[in-house]
Structure 1
Amino acid sequence: MPSRFLLRPSTLLGLLILLFSGAAAARDWFVAPNGSDSWNASGSINAPFASISRAFWSGYAGPGDTVYVRGGTYWLNAPQWVSVGGAAAAPLTLRPYPNETVILDGAGLPATGPAVLTVLASHVIVDGFTVRNSTGIGIQIWPDSTPAENVVIRNNTVHGCQKSGIFIGHKLDQTTTGVRNIQITGNTLYHNVQENRARTWTSNWHPALGILYSQDVSVHGNRVYENYGEGISVMQSRRIGVSRNVVHDNYSVNLYIDGGAETRHEANLVYSTGQTDYFRDFYHTPGKVPLPASGIQIANESWPEWTTPIMAANNVIINNIFIGNRAALSYGNYQNGGGLKSLRFAFNTLYAQVETALQVDPDTHSDNEFSNNISVQIDGVPHTWLSGDVSGFRFHHNFWSGGAPQPVARSASDQYGDPSFNRPGGYTAADYILLPGSPAVAAGQTLTGVSQDYFAKSRQTPPSPGASESLELAYNTLIDHYYMAILGRAPDAGGRAHWGNEALRMQIAGVDVQEAFRVMAGWFFRSPEYLAKQTGDEQYAADLYRTFFNRQPDSGGLSFWVGQLAQGMPRSLVLYAFLFSPEFTGYMQNLLGNTGSRSEVYAVVDFYRGFLNRLPDSAGLDYWLGRFRAAQCQGAAAINAEVDTISRQFIASAEYVQRNRNNSDYVADLYYAFLRRGAEPQGFQYWLDQLNSGALSRDQERLALLQSPEFQGRVQQIIQQGCLL
């Protein structure tokens, strides 16, 4: 018997242990609108439960299991509970059935205001629901007598709730937090905290996303907007990371630290668009108008039920962008007070705050740093409102535009002038990239613990103040590398400027700039200058290694690719394999940072690159994105129809026809445009044979790739991005 079919003794022993240990295999359970919660219900796909709570009765869902909720709207008259958890290596997952939408409507819940869905247990994942109209909270983690740990709340949309959209926390006694090691990621929360819709309350409304009596929590990649309470509030909690969230147009405060310690608020986009429906009347004084929420506010409110309340201290606020808020950073000395302690506010971009950029009430402050920020104020609005003893602050290496701050906030290391933002006044992070030639470039000072910017790109030495570095140096590094590795020469000034401007144009348009450099590499390898070198297959493969892996080829890898080329694989397919390799992606990520796009943007750029071998022109990009985004507002069927129509139009265009692609090239183009990769040898040969034999026409083959599970997964991502218009 061939050795590859033999089980090693250790493997056989492991199987025997599993066989006789009685370990239960993970199981799927099902909930459906037409299900039954009777005592003898099985919870199978053909005999589902009627409610989520029923799946967690004793003896049913447990560690490693998945509870699938079938599509539909569940008009709830009782709150739902996840009362059984998983295990560290086998979490329990609650999610909609694949490709189905589940709406949990809480309008019929008791007026006492319970949550629609409460997680009581540990090692649980709640993924992908729409929760709406709760008489209380949407989704909460609120354990009883034992902690809830290692819970993930992700990819949910919560709106229209009377109280919070998502709320976590519980104290087990007067000193012990009950919620630990939690991830809240990829959720969208809007139009919550309806209890304060009239905006007449003076206190005690809920936040849209609240963390209370918790520790070691990550709040990452959420969208929180247009809620009648604070956006994201950290209360009486430690070691909370709030990162890469978009938080805007909430009531009173967008990001709130109320007795939070050791928090890190990083790379958040926080702004007000001027929607007065969410403004607060802070002063209740004739002549004073309501104002938008503060960007981030710190205070120490009273918590009498907590034996030793946590005081705000050792908080880090870096790489954030604040636009049009009441103030970017505000400290209030109300209730417990106590002052700002060991706060680091650094490398933030502040643009056009309405009342002041920095507002600090008088108190006993100590060991606070305000450095490496860019603050732009317009129409004479002051940069700072500082009163009382401010000896507890150290200001340095800030860049001020639109006047100077109060003397106590100035330092000899400051700069003044126009920082040359890409598109100031907009509401995207790309609007605040520093343009080439900005006087802010390299005007900062390196700080320990701040190695990346808003886009996760490495900070330069010396760094630039504000949330993002200028990308000019990174662009030029990669452009110069392409010239040397592919063409064997240094770039001419005109060529470097052209490609740098193209990369910047894509970045400004909201396109992942890494896509620009992928297109650029393809163009270099197909340029007349490179083709004139008439490289053989071995030299071509070696050039790919040097370009994309920045090293000489290993003998095994070189032999493999030369063999593929000798067997007829087009050079373009080999190029695509290198372009999308993890090694090259990691290289670009380190150089350019995290510059990801929405899924429909990738699709349009892929069609341009795959079919036309170029970057989209600005008008074309806007046109095709407009078509995709109109379809996103109409639903899945419209998106699938547009994917079909748009790809057919690209292939039928005069520009593509004039490329005169043979069948091999055509197969490569389909892989490149639809699947974002080169073809595996067997797959390439299969599709090529289909064309050469006449079994499929080119359009039939296009449809086959379009309908493939791999590409349909990308279509699902476009659908899930939702309506942007």
Structure 2
Amino acid sequence: MNRISLLLDKSRPVLSMPAKLSGQCPGEAIVVRFLVRPAPKAYPVAVPATGNRNRLNVLNRVIIVMLLACMIGSTTAQARDLYVAVDGNDAWYTKGTVQDPFASIWRATWPNCNAGTVCAQPSDTIYLRGGVYRFDSVQWIGTSGTQAKPILITAAPGERAILDGSVLGADQIISSDQSHIVIDGLEFRHAPGKAITFWASAGQTVLDITIRNNKISSCEKAGIYIGRDRAESTSISEIAIEGNIVTDTVLENEDRTEFSGWHPAVGLDGVEHGVVIGNEVYRNYGEGISAIRSSNVSVIANTVYDNFSVNLYIHRSQQTEHARNLVFSSDIVNYCRYFEYARTCLPAVGVMIANELDGTFDAADNTIVNNVFVNTRAGFYYGDFDGEGGSHPSKGLQDVVFAHNTVYQDDSQAAETLVQIDAGIHERSSISDNVFVHLAGQESVKLRGAMAGVAFINNLWFDRVPALPAHDPSTDILADPDLVAPQATDDDGGPQVSGLAPRDRSPAVSAGSRGTEVQTDFFGLTRPNPLTLGAIEYALDGLECSRAAMRFNAAWPGARNLVASEATVTLGGDAGVGQGATVFAIASTGVSLEPGFRVERGGALYARLLPVSCRAMSR
């Protein structure tokens, strides 16, 4: 029987029910999932010699995702369902069936199986039955899928599989150097090191790894760490980290001593082409999400808060996009790094660029747009730590765009400054069209050294106006942005993003200078021309998308702001989602899609249609 599951907020399932779908994928699973993500491989492009002002038209491409896991018309061996259970058996003769399950992921993915031995092959699904797995050795994934037929490792439908590393005699719970692997819907806790690691050693190529919908907590080091050795012949690429919850990791730094060293909660190290989207990363004793010596990485629509030192870190990385993230501090002392200026708490920076340690290249060509930063130590910070400044001691910001962000600070116990830029030779970088509100803290902007290569243009400043050159008297707006409800909070105590939207009468409305370069806003809504300053284009009364596709009466996607929604999607017949995300009808004799969907088969791109057209039901 086919299983349809619908995921909306934070990629958490809100529906799982049997359905009858005749004529397609008999006996196979169809998974329908809604997320918001950039179009595949819609990564920032290289900056021309004239600079990067026009490159934003390739960013923030948002489509509604529909995944159909379905093997149609396959001429090769059928995909198999293999099972792992707490009371299973790892003997060579174990068949991996429901009645005769394996005891470990390691056994299920043995490489180079001998005749008569059952092991995972491309397109197989490995189901972990419910229970707590206390492995005493690393769960090494020893075999690869293919681009069209990845291997999926997931919890059995309706069951909860917990991988507990409390007796583990290794650093990682799951580790691998294989390709075309999907890890979906598991729980990890008590890792003595990292929960999930994929690593390419010298001469290896690792690609097409998806880690999604997992819950990770209580790790001594990183929750998710993907990377490679520095050898030129080594590569790791096509990485997707989607919809995970990562919290209470990097416990190695729980004492928060400056010299203890620490990992990020989620780290991409040396990755070429990757996306980190729709994750919730919070209350970790290391950086939240770090792009380390990586290129062409998009960090999109994550909720990141109360981490140590930095929430979003760009370390010696190039051509990254950080967009539509909600980043904030809730003033919890446990995650503060410094205790200075006679204040209770100095929390993590919103987003930081730096060139720590030695590396093969310096940070360059990074775009930061449509983010919301609330009560972080600084919204944006370039750090020249210990006078390093990169492989060339005087390097600074290189081809950086920080535009259409909203930075709001009203907490004297948390906020320090809106923007801090340390000394360096800065080139072709701009800070423009942002809304900066600084009601508490020290000076609104801290600039150290010459800023000839950084253009501050067309920003709105309130209530403290920075000195030159951060303030451009010819283009800046010095006024109250008239936000809807900037101090409103959601049910979890975090900022309510819709409250940071400008009202119709706000001086930020239609005051943008960047033309059509930033095409959407924080919620993925198409912006008009001229654009509104800051991350949020509209004070939403609702939004409407193309007929027979999607309709919402609340902010979307807003990981912390999705309320009751209405949606409709065509699957040959009629399928709908009513208020409160309840499916009221499913009947289909085929699978057809309205424009605006991405279709995947076996985890690989099968077809792609044009984006759904949305408009706000407001101004």
Whether TM-score is above 0.5 comes out as yes
In the aligned structure 2, how far is the partner of 1:673 from the partner of 1:272? 30
Going from structure 1 to structure 2, the CA distance change for 1:343 and 1:592 (only over 3 Å counts) comes to: farther
Q: Which has the higher strand share?
A: 2
Contact conserved, 2:556 with 2:562, CA < 8 A, in 1? no
**Is 1:382 the counterpart of 2:344 in the alignment?**
no
Amino acid at match of 1:312: A
In the aligned structure 2, how far is the partner of 1:385 from the partner of 1:74? 50
2:107 to 48, 54, 57: 54
In the aligned structure 2, how far is the partner of 1:433 from the partner of 1:95? 39
2:366 to 315, 332, 356: 315
Contact conserved, 1:671 with 1:679, CA < 8 A, in 2? no
In the aligned structure 2, how far is the partner of 1:423 from the partner of 1:365? 36
Give 1:55 shift: 0.3
Look up the SS of the partner of 2:314 in the other structure.
strand
**Is 1:84 the counterpart of 2:152 in the alignment?**
no
Report the equivalent of 2:290.
Answer: 233
In the aligned structure 2, how far is the partner of 1:600 from the partner of 1:320? 17
1:38 to 78, 81, 91: 91
Amino acid at match of 1:85: S
Q: Deviations over 1:556-607 (max 9, x none)?
A: xxxxxxxxxxxxxxxxxxxxxxxxx22xx2xx68x9984467899438x89x
Report the equivalent of 2:536.
Answer: 468
Report the equivalent of 2:188.
Answer: 131
Contact conserved, 1:457 with 1:592, CA < 8 A, in 2? no
Amino acid at match of 2:536: S
Going from structure 1 to structure 2, the CA distance change for 1:177 and 1:332 (only over 3 Å counts) comes to: farther
Amino acid at match of 1:372: D
Give 1:109 shift: 1.3
In the aligned structure 2, how far is the partner of 1:183 from the partner of 1:94? 15
Q: Which aligned pairs between 1:556-705 and structure 2 lie closer than 5 A?
A: 581-582=548-549, 585=550, 594-595=556-557, 601-602=563-564, 675=582
Report the equivalent of 1:264.
Answer: 321
Amino acid at match of 2:376: N
Bigger RCO of structures 1 and 2 (CA < 8 A, at least 6 apart):
2
**Is 1:324 the counterpart of 2:381 in the alignment?**
no
In the aligned structure 2, how far is the partner of 1:599 from the partner of 1:329? 24
Give 1:204 shift: 2.5
Report the equivalent of 1:723.
Answer: none
1:435 to 503, 517, 525: 503
Amino acid at match of 1:69: L
Contact conserved, 1:169 with 1:177, CA < 8 A, in 2? no
Q: Deviations over 1:388-415 (max 9, x none)?
A: 1111111111001112111211221111
Q: Which aligned pairs between 1:182-193 and structure 2 lie closer than 5 A?
A: 182-193=239-250
Contact conserved, 1:123 with 1:149, CA < 8 A, in 2? yes
Going from structure 1 to structure 2, the CA distance change for 1:669 and 1:149 (only over 3 Å counts) comes to: closer
Contact conserved, 2:84 with 2:126, CA < 8 A, in 1? yes
Give 1:297 shift: 0.9
Q: Deviations over 1:412-450 (max 9, x none)?
A: 111111111122134132121112211211111125541
Look up the SS of the partner of 1:54 in the other structure.
helix
Look up the SS of the partner of 1:265 in the other structure.
strand
1:72 to 125, 131, 146: 131
Going from structure 1 to structure 2, the CA distance change for 1:262 and 1:29 (only over 3 Å counts) comes to: same
Bigger shift: residues 138-147 or 239-248: 138-147
Amino acid at match of 2:179: S
Q: Deviations over 1:615-640 (max 9, x none)?
A: xxxxxxxxxxxxxxxxxxxxxxxxxx
2:483 to 391, 400, 421: 421
Look up the SS of the partner of 1:369 in the other structure.
strand
Going from structure 1 to structure 2, the CA distance change for 1:415 and 1:601 (only over 3 Å counts) comes to: closer
TM-score, normalised to structure 2, is 0.74
TM-score, normalised to structure 1, is 0.63
Look up the SS of the partner of 2:426 in the other structure.
coil
1:372 to 428, 433, 441: 433
Give 1:119 shift: 2.8
Report the equivalent of 2:352.
Answer: 297
Look up the SS of the partner of 2:334 in the other structure.
helix
In the aligned structure 1, how far is the partner of 2:232 from the partner of 2:587? 58
In the aligned structure 2, how far is the partner of 1:438 from the partner of 1:204? 45
Going from structure 1 to structure 2, the CA distance change for 1:674 and 1:207 (only over 3 Å counts) comes to: closer
Amino acid at match of 1:179: I
Look up the SS of the partner of 1:431 in the other structure.
helix
Give 1:366 shift: 1.0
Contact conserved, 2:564 with 2:579, CA < 8 A, in 1? no
Amino acid at match of 1:52: I
Going from structure 1 to structure 2, the CA distance change for 1:62 and 1:103 (only over 3 Å counts) comes to: same
**Is 1:101 the counterpart of 2:154 in the alignment?**
no
In the aligned structure 2, how far is the partner of 1:224 from the partner of 1:54? 31
Report the equivalent of 2:464.
Answer: 403
Q: Between the two proteins, what is the percent identity of the paired residues?
A: 36
Give 1:381 shift: 3.4
Bigger shift: residues 135-144 or 150-159: 135-144
Amino acid at match of 1:357: L
Report the equivalent of 1:638.
Answer: none
Going from structure 1 to structure 2, the CA distance change for 1:48 and 1:321 (only over 3 Å counts) comes to: same
Contact conserved, 2:332 with 2:345, CA < 8 A, in 1? no
Report the equivalent of 1:143.
Answer: 200
Structure 2: unaligned runs, 5 residues or longer: 1-22, 24-72, 114-118, 390-394, 490-494, 568-574, 590-619
In the aligned structure 2, how far is the partner of 1:669 from the partner of 1:369? 45
Going from structure 1 to structure 2, the CA distance change for 1:149 and 1:45 (only over 3 Å counts) comes to: same
Contact conserved, 1:458 with 1:593, CA < 8 A, in 2? no
Q: Deviations over 1:155-178 (max 9, x none)?
A: 00100000001100012x533453
Contact conserved, 1:380 with 1:403, CA < 8 A, in 2? no
Look up the SS of the partner of 1:409 in the other structure.
coil
What is the aligned residue count?
Answer: 488
1:343 to 400, 403, 416: 400
Aligned-pair Cα RMSD in Å: 3.0
2:173 to 100, 104, 116: 116
Q: Deviations over 1:338-358 (max 9, x none)?
A: 211111000000000711100
Report the equivalent of 1:564.
Answer: none
Report the equivalent of 1:152.
Answer: 210
Going from structure 1 to structure 2, the CA distance change for 1:205 and 1:32 (only over 3 Å counts) comes to: same
Contact conserved, 1:421 with 1:433, CA < 8 A, in 2? yes
Give 1:310 shift: 2.0
Q: Which has the higher helix share?
A: 1
2:332 to 265, 270, 275: 275
Contact conserved, 1:177 with 1:214, CA < 8 A, in 2? no
Report the equivalent of 1:452.
Answer: 520
Report the equivalent of 1:532.
Answer: none
Structure 1: unaligned runs, 5 residues or longer: 6-16, 472-502, 505-512, 519-547, 550-580, 607-667, 683-725
Give 1:281 shift: 1.6
In our comparison, the structure showing a higher alpha carbon Rg is 1
